[in-house]
Structures are given as C-alpha cells and as structure tokens.
Amino acid sequence: MNNQSKTSRRKLTASRIVAYTVLVILCFLCLFFFYMLLINSSRNTFQIQQGFSFLPGKSFGVNMKSLLANANIPVLSGIKNSFIVSALSALLAVYFSAMTAYGIYAYDFKFKKAAFSIILLIMTMPTQISAIGFVNQMQAMGLKNSLVPLFLPAIASPIVFFFMKQYLESNMPMEIVEAARIDGSDEFHTFNSIVLPIMKPAIAVQAIFSFVSAWNNFFIPALLLDKADKKTLPILIAQLRSADFLKFDMGQVYMLVTIAIIPVIIVYLFLSKYIVRGVALGGVKG
C-alpha cells in the first residue's frame, strides 16, 4: 500500500512539474512580445536595426518627445478619439446585447425562434460585405468625419448577444424573475437591479472583447475619417509606419504601439477579477 501511494505521489508530482513547465513556457511566449515592445520603444532606429537586445536603450524620452512633437501624428487626440469610441462601443454593446438576450430568454412571443435565427445569421456576415453601403450611408447623413458611426452600431452586436443569452440560460433561473414580478418590480427595474448583477462576469468578458475590438479597429475608421483631429490610434500607427523610408523612425513606431496597448492592459486588469469570480462561481455550481 505504501509503495502504491509513493508511486501515485511521484506521478502526481511529475504531472505537476510538466504542467507548470508548460505554463511557464506559455507565459514566456505571451509576455516576451510585450517585453520586446517595451525594449524597442526605448531604442533608436539604428539600435533596432542592429537586432533585439534584452537590455533597454536610452532613447525612451527622446522617442516620446519626438512622437509628441510630430505635427502629422496628433497622438493625444488619437488617444482621446480611440478611448471615446472604445468605451462607448463596449458600454452600448454589453448593455443592449444583455437586454436583447434577456428579452429573448425571458419572454415567449410568436417569432421568438425566427428572431434568434436572424440574429445568428447576421453574426455570420463579415463587416466587409456591408462596408461600402455603410460608408455611403454615413456620408449621405453628414457623418463622414464623425465618431458616431464608429460606436453607435455597437448597439446591435450579435456575437455579444449570443454570449449573453448562453450565459443567461446556464446561470439565471427564471424563478428569480418571476419572484421579482410577484413583488411588484417592473421589467426595467428587474433587468437593471437583478439580471445585470447576475451577468457581471459575462459583461466583464464581453466588455473587454468589445473594447479591444473597437480600440484595434482600423478598417471602418480608415474609410470614414479624413481629418487629423478625428483619427484613431490604429490609423495614426499605419500613417506613421507608411512614412518615407528615409525619414522612417522605428523608435516612434514602437513608442506609439506601446502607448496604444497600455489602455487595453489597464482595462483587462480592471475587469479580470470579475472573470475569475465568474469562473469560480461556475466551478462551485458544477
């Protein structure tokens, strides 16, 4: 019996070592590129062209000053525009998608299955199919150089809706809603005060995805935005990267990419606790 227990312990220890080794390797592969980005943002073009170095350079401040002094790249307005678009897109996407998912989940009406199928069908359509018509429509409405077309369509987010509906079906029993109705709670109060708190983990996950997706979006903003003070960060990065080869400053490019990725990391760190809490809650229920 002792030999069997020792053998099982050795196998368990060996499996843990293998698991931790794989996790360390994966973490290294994920974080190495962020480290490389930070290192290159502190080096000048000549040093970057010489190859990668594990030690930071001394040009971090120079790259920052050169980037902020670049009249063709309005970094501060780009950060402001990207944050407005991303924050409003995430807010509208998670709130109205959660409301739509709650309506499909909690109510029985005649064309319920048809509505759900249509939403799923829209989810399969790529953005490029409707891009030309969308841009022409925005131009006809006088919204060519406006941020409104970049965040307002987030109200209808089929992917976010589908995730929210699946989460409701697995985590919210209808008895809670029925009890609130018996107590005299109206539907909006029930949704805002009871349903949304239950959906916090799902909202956090989709808020991160929606924020990152809007923050990194280049295709639609590049078609709609021409004015420099309305451009978002992805457009400015592409504009800086496509500069004249003789005047191409790789240090500025890495600095701008570093600036662009910091808000995404902050949003993830702020909302990650809700994701972990939701996973733990699901594990306890299981």
What is the pLDDT at residue 34?
86
Between 71 and 231, whose confidence is greater? 231
**pLDDT at residue number 277:** 61
* Contact partners, residue 191, CB within 8 Å, separation at least 6: 99, 102
Q: Residue 25 — very low, low, confident or very high, per pLDDT cuts 50/70/90?
A: very high
Instruction: State the average pLDDT over residues 263-283.
Output: 69
**CA of 94: how far to CAs of 71, 186, 275, in Å?**
36, 21, 15
Average of per-residue pLDDT across 23-27: 91
**Long-range contacts, stretch 32-37, CB < 8 angstroms, 24+ apart:** 34/261, 37/254, 37/257, 37/258, 37/261
SS3 of 280, please? helix
User: What is the distance of C-alpha 266 from the center of its chain?
Assistant: 11
Highest mean pLDDT among 20-34, 44-58, 123-137: 20-34
Predicted pLDDT of residue 81 = 94
Helix (H) or strand (E) holding 229, with range, is none
- Tell me: pLDDT of 151 over 90: yes
Residue 86 has pLDDT above 60, yes or no: yes
Q: How far apart are CA 195 and CA 199, in angstroms?
A: 6
Tell me: pLDDT of 26 over 50: yes
Give the residue-averaged pLDDT of 72-80: 89
Q: 279 falls in which pLDDT band (50, 70, 90)?
A: low
Kindly indicate the confidence band of residue 108, based on its pLDDT and cuts at 50, 70 and 90: confident
pLDDT of residue 110: 83
The pLDDT value given to residue 282:
45
Digit-coded pLDDT (tens) for 180-236: 888 888 888 889 888 898 888 888 888 888 998 999 999 899 989 988 889 999 999
Q: How far, in Å, CA of 282 to CA of 284, rounded?
A: 5
Over residues 127-141, the pLDDT tens digits come to 778 888 888 999 999
What does the pLDDT read at residue 2? Answer: 59
